[in-house]
Amino acid sequence: MPETRVPRRRRFLVCEPRHFAVQYAINPWMQPDVRVDVDLAQQQWQSLISAYRSHGHTVETLEPVTGLPDMVFAANSAVVVGGRVFGSLFHAPERRPESTHYDTWFKTAGFDVYRPESVCEGEGDLVWTGRYVLAGTGFRTTREAHREVQEFFGHPVISLTLVDPYFYHLDTALFVLDDDNIVYYPEAFSAGSREVLARLYPDAVLATRDDATAFGLNSVSDGRNVFIAPQAEALAARLDERGYVPVPVDLSEFRKAGGGIKCCTQEIRS
């Protein structure tokens, strides 16, 4: 019998894809000549919000801004642990103005916001596990930012090197299931980083490239329910065998910009 998993209520910050488009290319998924169906993107995004709320989670929204098509990817704006907000400094100049709007939201909500000195893309590359931060580098967030994160939060930061440009953020190659375990795609990481993950999580759920290219690793788990791309069928089946409950949510339109469920979801941990 698979283990009975216990969900934990979460608080999420999201941003409506009213101005979502692919206007530039900053990762291999983005093709500016491919048209985005904004109406479909809106419908898919609303289905994600409905899924979160129907499972008992709190969802708060930030008003989108004209001219910032990637603002929908709220995860990249910050990482929040223990009520402390470590903001973002985007690698791409096109995305840097997003930080101001997210910082303003957090400050208005009563949070202090730390401004990083080094390139850092929030939960895109910084994954809180409940004990420490798994931190990606190789394409966006720098190792210098990892040091800043450790100094700011006072929690250990474990640097992991990403080697495949299709998995340019850590949250495209790895996600946390609960306080004890993760899912990840080994080939997205350097050999040394794979060894680190294997030592830390010997019972991890390992994903295939098909799982990863379906954005199955860009998932959100509340400890029991896993909000996951429906195209990642094999991964969903393995999670079910472990006692987790896959909740399929199709955000396929956002793949045109290299994003998915987690990219659209910033978790506020108080």
**How far is the CA of 64 from the CAs of 71, 119, 205, in angstroms?**
7, 23, 35
Is residue 1 assigned to a domain?
Answer: no
Catalytic residue among 15, 120, 263, 264: 263
Q: Two tokens at 67?
A: 């001219």
Quote the pLDDT of residue 1: 67
Per-residue pLDDT of 232-267, as tens digits, reads 999 999 999 999 999 999 999 999 999 999 999 999
Read off the amino acid at residue 249: V
Quote the pLDDT of residue 133: 98
Quote the pLDDT of residue 34: 82
Is residue 127 assigned to a domain?
Answer: yes
Is pTM, for the whole model, over 0.85? yes
Q: What is the mean pLDDT of residues 121-146?
A: 98
Q: Residues 6 or more apart from 145 whose CB is under 8 A from it? A: 89, 116, 118, 119, 120, 135, 137
Catalytic residue among 15, 120, 169, 264: 169
Question: Is the pLDDT reported for residue 59 higher than 90?
Answer: yes
In percent, how much of the chain has pLDDT > 90?
94
* Phi, psi for 7 (deg, rounded to 5): -75, 155
* Residue 263 annotated as catalytic: yes
Is residue 3 assigned to a domain?
Answer: no
Quote the pLDDT of residue 165: 97
Q: How confident is the model at residue 4 (pLDDT cuts 50, 70, 90)?
A: confident
Is residue 219 assigned to a domain?
Answer: yes
Question: Is the pLDDT reported for residue 79 higher than 90?
Answer: yes
- Residue 23: Cβ-neighbour burial (10 angstroms; 0-12, 13-18, 19+): middle
What CATH number corresponds to the domain at position 200? 3.75.10.10
Instruction: Write the Ramachandran bin of 67: left for phi over 0, alpha for psi from -120 to 50, otherwise beta.
Output: left
Is residue 262 assigned to a domain?
Answer: yes
CA 220, CA 214: separation in Å to the nearest integer?
14
* Residue 146 annotated as catalytic: no
CA 195, CA 232: separation in Å to the nearest integer?
25
Per-residue pLDDT of 198-207, as tens digits, reads 999 999 999 9
Quote the pLDDT of residue 180: 97
Is residue 4 assigned to a domain?
Answer: no
Question: Is the pLDDT reported for residue 145 higher than 80?
Answer: yes
Is residue 212 assigned to a domain?
Answer: yes
Q: How confident is the model at residue 26 (pLDDT cuts 50, 70, 90)?
A: confident
Is residue 232 assigned to a domain?
Answer: yes
CA 136, CA 92: separation in Å to the nearest integer?
17
Q: 195 near 202, Cβ under 8 Å? A: no
Q: Residues 6 or more apart from 26 whose CB is under 8 A from it? A: 91, 92, 94, 95
Q: How many domains, the chain?
A: 1
Q: How confident is the model at residue 25 (pLDDT cuts 50, 70, 90)?
A: confident
Range of the domain at 48: 11-267
Q: What is the mean pLDDT of residues 144-150?
A: 98
- Residue 257, CB-side half-sphere exposure with 13 Å CA sphere: 27
Quote the pLDDT of residue 2: 75
